[in-house]
Structure 1
Amino acid sequence: MPAVRPRLLYVTDLAYQARGRRYCDEDIFLTARLRARFDLALCHPLDAAALMDGFDAVVVRNSGPVLGYQSAYDAFREQALATGTRVYNPLTGKADMAGKQYLLDLSAAGFPVIPTVGSTEDLDRLPPAERYVVKPKLGADSVGLRIVPAGQIAAAARGEVLIQPCVDFVHEVSFYFVDDDFEYALYAPDPERRWELQPYPATAADLEFARRFVDWNDLGHGIQRVDACRARDGGLLLVELEDLNPYLSLEALPEEARDAFVGTFTASLSRFVQGALSPA
C-alpha cells in the first residue's frame, strides 16, 4: 500500500543540454510544486533501476534521449515490468517510447502523418519531392536528422532510417494531453524559430486530429505531446507522438495556465499512485 504521502522517484537529467531550452528549469519548477502532495526524490536515469524499489511510483520526465544510455534504460524497463513497478508514463506506449516504427505503420494505414517509408525501394509511395528528410529509426531530439536533395537520397538513406518528403509547412503546433484530456496547445509561428512558442487557440478540428493519435496509443495514464505541422493546404500532419518524456514548454504559458497544468498533473499522479484508475 502507498504511504500516507505517496513516495515518487522523479527521473530527470538536470544537466542535459537541449537546443534552445533549459529542461532542468521545468523539472525544478514541477518538483517544487509536487512536493506539496508527495514525498519526492530526484535521480538521474542511470540510477533509476537501483533506486526505484523504495518508491510507490517512478515518474520519467526530462531524462533526455535514451540513446545515450540505451542499455541502462533497457535494464530499467525490464526490471520495472518484472517487478510491477508503476512507471509514469506507463511502459506500454506504442509511439516514441518504442522507436519510430509507428510513423511507418501509421503512414501505411492512411493516418494524417507526414508520408514515411523505411527504404529507398519504397520512394514511389511518397509524393515527389526535391528534398527529403532522412532520420534514424531510433533517433530522438533531431539527432542524426538530415535534409538531402533528391539526387543524393540513395547514398544518404542507408541503415535503419526513415525517409520523408521535406514538407513546406506554415507552422508547427503541439497539443499536450494528460490522461487523455487535452490541456493546452503551443505553436511556433516562425518555422525558422521553432523553439519560440506561443499559446495556440486549438479548434475543434485541431483537437479531433490530435485525439485520433492519443486514442490510437491507448496509454491511459500520463502525459503525451502530439507534434504536428500545418501544411500549406491548411491540414495538419503528424510529426511525432511523444509518449516517453515530452518536454512541456511550460515557460511559454501564462501563469494561470501553468497553475492549471500543475493541478491536473498532480491529480493524475495521485490517481495513478493510488491505483484509483485501472492499470493501462
Structure 2
Amino acid sequence: MTRPRVLLASCAALPRSNADDTALPEVLAEVGVEADWAPWDDPAAPFGSADLVVLRSTWDYPVRRKEFLAWCDAVPALANPAAVARWNTDKAYLADLAAHGVPVVPTELIAPGEPLRAPEEGFVLKPAVGASSRGAARFAAGELGAARSHLAALHAEDQVVLVQPYQRAVDGEGETALVFLGGVFSHAFVKGAMLPDPAVSGPGPGERFGVLPDAALRRAAEDAVDAAAALRGLRRADLLYARVDLVRGEDGAPVLLELELTEPSLGFAQADPGALPRFASAIRAAVG
C-alpha cells in the first residue's frame, strides 16, 4: 500500500511552524502518512502532487492575502478548502455568522473613508484582515482622538476596520479556545487577554493553559462550527480543524470572538498527550 503524502504549509519565517506542532510529521509517520513542512510560497515545494496540503502556520498572509488566496486556489487538495480560507481570512465572516444566529461580539465594519462610530464604553479597533493581535488596539470611551488616529492609520493601508465593544470578562477569564478536529471536539485551552487592562489582575497576554469547558461554552462552539459548515455548503467533517474563540458577554453567556478555520495555533502544547495523535488521525482520514 502506498503511503499518503502530505505537505504542511508554513511560512518562510517559521518554515517548520512553531513548537506547538513542529513534531506533526513524526506523529503522522506513526499512522502511516509521509509528511513534511514547506513554506506556502516555496516554488520548489511539490504542493500540486501532494495527496493533501494542510494549512498550518501561513502567518504572513495578512500582508499578501491576494497572493496567498491565489495560491490556495491553485492547490488541488487543500485543508481547510480554499473557499473557506477566502471567507475566513476576512473578519467580515463574523457578520455572516451573526446573521445565521450565532451569538457574536457586536461588530461593525468601517471601510476606508467612513467615520468612527464608537460604542459608548471601551472598544477595540482591529483590521478585518490580520493575524493574532497585529494592528489591534483597545481604547477607553474618552479616547476618541487616539482611536480616530489609529483608524486613519489602518485606513491609510486600505484596511477595512472592525470596531467591537471590549468584553471586560476577558481581563479576568481570558478567552476560551475550543478545538475541533475533523468536526469532533478535541480539547480546549484559555488564552490570556491580548489587550489587557493593567488595572485588572488576571492571565497575562499569551498565557495559556488547558481547560475542560462548561456546557454553555461547548454548545456555543458546536453551534458556531455547524453554522460555518452550513454557510460554506460543507459537512462538519469537511473542516479538518476549527478553533472557536469564545468570551463571556455582560450577561455571562458565551459570545464568539473569532472562528479560526485557516491557520490557527491549535494549542497542542496545552492539551492532553493524545491531541496531536488525534490530529494525525484526522489528517489521515482527510487524505482518504
Do both proteins adopt the same fold according to a TM-score greater than 0.5, normalized to the shorter chain? yes
Post-superposition shift, 1:140? Answer: 1.6
Q: Deviations over 1:239-272 (max 9, x none)?
A: 100000110121122xxx222x233222222221
Post-superposition shift, 1:204? Answer: 2.1
Query: 1:9 corresponds to which residue?
Result: 7
Query: 2:162 corresponds to which residue?
Result: 162
The answer (yes or no) to whether the contact 1:15–1:24 under 8 Å persists in 2 is: no
Post-superposition shift, 1:235? Answer: 1.5
Question: Could you state the TM-score of these two structures normalised by the residue count of structure 2?
Answer: 0.79
Return the match for 1:228 from 231, 243, 246: 246
Amino acid at match of 1:139: G
Q: Deviations over 1:90-111 (max 9, x none)?
A: 2232786341101233345553
After the TM superposition, which segments of 4 or more aligned residues of structure 1 sit over 6 Å from their partners? none
Matches of 2:266 and 2:215, distance apart in 1: 22
Aligned length: 257
Q: CA 1:225/1:138 → structure 2, altered by over 3 Å: closer, same or farther?
A: same
Return the match for 2:204 from 181, 186, 193: 193
Matches of 1:181 and 1:106, distance apart in 2: 20
Q: 3-state SS of the aligned residue for 1:64?
A: coil
Return the match for 2:263 from 245, 258, 264: 245
The answer (yes or no) to whether the contact 2:62–2:130 under 8 Å persists in 1 is: yes
Unaligned runs of 5+ in 2: 193-200
36-45 or 181-190: bigger deviation: 181-190
Matches of 1:164 and 1:7, distance apart in 2: 42
Q: CA 1:64/1:29 → structure 2, altered by over 3 Å: closer, same or farther?
A: same
Post-superposition shift, 1:50? Answer: 5.4
47-56 or 139-148: bigger deviation: 47-56
Query: 1:269 corresponds to which residue?
Result: 283
Amino acid at match of 2:24: L
Post-superposition shift, 1:213? Answer: 0.7
Post-superposition shift, 1:173? Answer: 0.6
Amino acid at match of 1:30: L
Question: Could you state the TM-score of these two structures normalised by the residue count of structure 1?
Answer: 0.81
Matches of 1:23 and 1:9, distance apart in 2: 12
**1:141-152 equivalence runs, <5 A:** 141-150=132-141, 151-152=144-145
The answer (yes or no) to whether the contact 1:11–1:44 under 8 Å persists in 2 is: yes
The answer (yes or no) to whether the contact 2:25–2:34 under 8 Å persists in 1 is: no
The answer (yes or no) to whether the contact 1:174–1:187 under 8 Å persists in 2 is: yes
The answer (yes or no) to whether the contact 1:90–1:222 under 8 Å persists in 2 is: no
Give yes or no for the alignment of 1:90 onto 2:81. yes
The answer (yes or no) to whether the contact 1:11–1:48 under 8 Å persists in 2 is: no
Give yes or no for the alignment of 1:101 onto 2:119. no
Matches of 1:118 and 1:191, distance apart in 2: 30
Unaligned runs of 5+ in 1: 275-280
Q: Deviations over 1:40-64 (max 9, x none)?
A: 2321121268521221111111221
Post-superposition shift, 1:209? Answer: 0.5
Query: 1:26 corresponds to which residue?
Result: 20
Post-superposition shift, 1:168? Answer: 0.6
Q: 3-state SS of the aligned residue for 1:174?
A: strand
**1:40-119 equivalence runs, <5 A:** 40-47=35-42, 51-80=46-75, 85-93=76-84, 97-107=88-98, 111-119=102-110
Cα root mean square deviation, aligned: 2.8
Query: 1:132 corresponds to which residue?
Result: 123
Q: 3-state SS of the aligned residue for 1:147?
A: strand
Matches of 1:50 and 1:67, distance apart in 2: 21
Q: 3-state SS of the aligned residue for 2:108?
A: coil
Query: 1:277 corresponds to which residue?
Result: none
Q: CA 1:132/1:272 → structure 2, altered by over 3 Å: closer, same or farther?
A: same
Amino acid at match of 2:187: Y
Q: CA 1:96/1:68 → structure 2, altered by over 3 Å: closer, same or farther?
A: same
The answer (yes or no) to whether the contact 2:17–2:57 under 8 Å persists in 1 is: yes
Post-superposition shift, 1:221? Answer: 2.7
